[in-house]
Amino acid sequence: MIVLFQFGRMLETYLGALCFIFIYFIGGLLCSLLSVFYVYFDFKYFGENINVIGASGAICVLMGFYAVIDKNSTKGLIVAILLMSFVPLLMGVNVAWYGHIFGFMCGYILAKIKEVK
């Protein structure tokens, strides 16, 4: 929740409350849909049953959106997403790494779409 506060506060000031809420929820829904597709295909082809819970994908949407706004932070945010997604896997902790990656990508794409308009 600290990350939500950190990026949410900056983006809400930059975008306005209504646009921020729209991006947070739409990005979270897109990220969740992509995660469901991943889980479905993983179960169908590999027989693994995966449980997914939390809002970290939606928070990663905000990080991806911020990466477009602040070009200087893009590389650092990509490294942060990769670290928070894959380091727990190396320690044997189950983390929905694909949700983080999908969330960052959705936020990045949403920001690029908004940038074009």
pLDDT in tens, 45-69: 888 777 787 889 999 999 999 999 9
pLDDT band for 11, please (50, 70, 90 cuts): very high
pTM above 0.85, yes or no: yes
d(CA 76, CA 91): 22
Mean pLDDT of 34-40: 91
Q: Give 21-54 as a DSSP string.
A: HHHHHHHHHHHHHHHHHHHHHHHHHH-------S
Percent of the chain exceeding pLDDT 90 equals 59
Residue 18: per-residue pLDDT: 96
d(CA 8, CA 21): 9
